[in-house]
Chain A
Amino acid sequence: AQSVTQLDSHVSVSEGTPVLLRCNYSSSYSPSLFWYVQHPNKGLQLLLKYTSAATLVKGINGFEAEFKKSETSFHLTKPSAHMSDAAEYFCVVTDLTGGGNKLTFGTGTQLKVEL
């Protein structure tokens, strides 16, 4: 079965400093991976996706993620945090068994951005 593990439940950074949200995956085949963001009382917004093309994926709002097969990791980064980045972030892997395309979510990382 496909799964992801988000290594930090909470991350706190100062505005203007780099952001690193860590995710490891487990997959029996070449995975498709996503990062989604959820602001309070809002739905989920897709930040970026990896589907076996370039290993460095650029997303919206200055976020990017690097797929590292040797480390089974897909960490999310941003060079400079903004107050508006405060939200919950989910690492997600696609499970294609059974002919469908279900998403398996990690437990989430709550990002706090302080002045």
Chain B
Amino acid sequence: DAGVTQSPTHLIKTRGQHVTLRCSPISGHKSVSWYQQVLGQGPQFIFQYYEKEERGRGNFPDRFSARQFPNYSSELNVNALLLGDSALYLCASSLEPTSGGVYEQYFGPGTRLTVT
């Protein structure tokens, strides 16, 4: 079975531009989460979506937005890029976020964004 897939693998953008990152979850998974991993640090939670609804938002500015589609794939959008947005963006999928149990999240390989 295919794991979590993300596109593109690498991306170089200029300050002020916007970017769209894409994620396809594992088949059967309805929840997608996004994380930002700056070099040398642990991943930081950005968003979680379940059944196309936002279930959680991390401490990120409004320049960051996301959505989930009927097929459960997801997009992360970042507007007005800053140098500090350079990072590895990770997508993770899981079964529903919580239903009396905790389901592990499975991560994709990430999109490496470089802002110049």
Contact = CB atoms under 8 A, between A and B. Distances in A.
Indicate, yes or no, whether A interacts with B. yes
Chain B interface extent, by class = 20 to 34
A34 B43 CA distance: 14
B107 A99 contact: no
A45 B92 CA distance: 11
A102 to B, nearest CB: 4
A51 B101 contact: yes
Interface string B81-116: 000000000101010011001111111111000000
A108 B44 CA distance: 12
B42 A105 contact: yes
A46 B26 CA distance: 15
Nearest to A94: B102
B74 interface: no
**Binding site secondary structure of chain B:** strand
- Which of B31, B33, B105 has the most C-beta atoms of chain A within 10 angstroms of its own C-beta? B105
Contacts of B56: 98-102
A111 to B, nearest CB: 15
Nearest to A101: B97
Contact of B42 (A32, A42, A107): A107
A96 B56 CA distance: 10
Contacts of B101: 51
A105 B94 CA distance: 17
Chain A interface extent, by class = 20 to 34
B48 A101 contact: yes
A43 B103 contact: no
B55 interface: yes
A67 interface: no
Given A101-B48, A101-B97, A103-B33, A44 B102 contact: no
A90 interface: yes
Contact of B109 (A43, A94, A105): A43
Interface of B: 4, 31, 33, 35, 41-45, 48, 50, 55-56, 58, 90, 92, 94, 97-98, 101-110
Interface of A: 32, 34, 36, 42-46, 49, 51, 90, 94, 96, 98-108
